[in-house]
Amino acid sequence: MRNHFLNYTAVGVFVAAMIAALVVSLSMLAGRTGPTDSYSVVLDDVTDVKYGTVVRFAGFPIGQVEEIAPEYNEGKYRFRLHIAVKEGWKFPQDSIARIAASSFLAGKTLEINGGLAAATIAPGGEIAGGTAADMFSLMAQVAGEIGDLSKSSLKPLVARIGEIIDRIGNTTETNLQQLMGSLNSIASEVNTKTPAIVGNVETFTAQINAEMAKVDQILSERNIGAINNSLAHIETATANAEVASEDLKSLGTRITAVADEIKGMVAENRKGVDKSVADLEYILRAVAQNIDSITHNLDGTTRNMNEFSRLIRQNPGLLLSGSSPEADKGLGQNSGDEQ
């Protein structure tokens, strides 16, 4: 029994510690645990941003996103983010807020980079929004540029080449010169846009290398050891839970035995219970049959008691003499004699 008590105590302490750690972690992730100031940020795209998204200033968590409100203006939707940050936090007027991810596998956050201005934005004001700075947004931009290049340059080039092939049998020297001029202009346009595309690809490759380096840091021997220790603690907790489950099964067996004993007790005294019910039924039937006479007698008794109480109130001497006292005539006779 003492071992069971120790096990239950250990499990309870462990669960309470985990709950406390969870509450502290959520408070730290939220970036605020006290009074807050409200600001707003307007962005063109809020992909993966929702209520509760962490707001960070230079990497330090200071609050969270409270509300996202779409605004339609000049034929375009923009999104106003209402954020709550720690009370008293100062933002320079040239601060810029943009959506970012701290690592390859990390969730999106709203990063605010402070500027160099001495003046600050008052609480309730608006912080300027910038374009997203995470790797996936960069990939989308590169893909968009490649798509624009394919639509504006490659497809027209293929169409023109097709037209040239159709007309090549009937072209003259003048037409050939015009064709070469067109090809030169197309080649020049491609040469102009190619360095920008190559630069974006190189930037993208550099960012991928940096993110892979961070992944290698995450999967270091120290972190793997910590994960193994956590798994060992989880196995210990599972073993304790199995012991508690066996105790619950034993308790359930005892409860079932007690229920069987109660059921047997009721079965053994069934005749006595049936007899008591029959006697009660007989009593109730007799009362029902004589209820009119009982009610009549109670009514007469009540009237007699009312009459008795009325006479006693009028003449309390009835309790001593048994009848009403006669009137006192001596005073009247004496008065006649004197006259």
The pLDDT tens digits of the residues spanning 211-242 come to 888 777 777 777 777 788 888 888 888 888 88
117 and 167 inside one domain:
no
Is residue 26 in some structural domain? no
Cα separations in angstroms, 170 against 157, 160, 162, 193, 254: 20, 16, 14, 33, 104
Tokens 């003499």 locate to 321
Give SS3 for 106.
Answer: coil
58 and 104 inside one domain:
yes
How many domains does the chain contain in total? 2
59 and 120 inside one domain:
yes
51 and 90 inside one domain:
yes
Is residue 160 in some structural domain? yes
Residue 82, exposed/middle/buried by CB under 10 A (0-12, 13-18, 19+)? middle
- Measured CA to CA, the distance from residue 198 to residue 297 in angstroms comes to 116
152 and 124 inside one domain:
no
Q: Which uninterrupted H or E stretch holds 38?
A: strand 36-43
45 and 125 inside one domain:
yes
Instruction: Please tell me the predicted confidence (pLDDT) of residue 142.
Output: 58
Is residue 25 in some structural domain? no
107 and 161 inside one domain:
no
Alpha helix stretches (DSSP H) within the chain: 2-30, 135-149, 155-167, 173-218, 221-268, 270-289, 291-314, 318-321, 330-338
Residue 51 pLDDT > 50, yes or no? yes
Is residue 170 in some structural domain? yes
Choice between 77 and 270, residue whose per-residue pLDDT is larger? 77
Query: Percent of the chain scored above 90 by pLDDT?
Result: 8
Which residues form the domain of 190?
A: 138-218
Is residue 74 in some structural domain? yes
- Measured CA to CA, the distance from residue 104 to residue 88 in angstroms comes to 32
Dihedral sign of CA atoms 129, 135, 140, 145 in order: positive
Residue 39 pLDDT > 90, yes or no? yes
Instruction: Work out the angle between the directed axes of helices 135-149 and 173-218 (0-180°, nearest 10).
Output: 170
* Domain-ending residue, one of 133, 152, 180: 133
129 and 56 inside one domain:
yes
pTM as predicted: 0.35
Is residue 75 in some structural domain? yes
60 and 83 inside one domain:
yes
Tokens, residue 163? 């037209």
* Domain-ending residue, one of 101, 116, 133: 133
- Measured CA to CA, the distance from residue 100 to residue 142 in angstroms comes to 17
Count the neighbouring beta carbons within 10 Å of the beta carbon of residue 159: 10
Is residue 238 in some structural domain? no
* Domain-ending residue, one of 170, 186, 218: 218
37 and 120 inside one domain:
yes
Residue 2 pLDDT > 60, yes or no? no
Instruction: Please tell me the predicted confidence (pLDDT) of residue 41.
Output: 92
Mean pLDDT within 84-102: 87
115 and 40 inside one domain:
yes
Is residue 330 in some structural domain? no
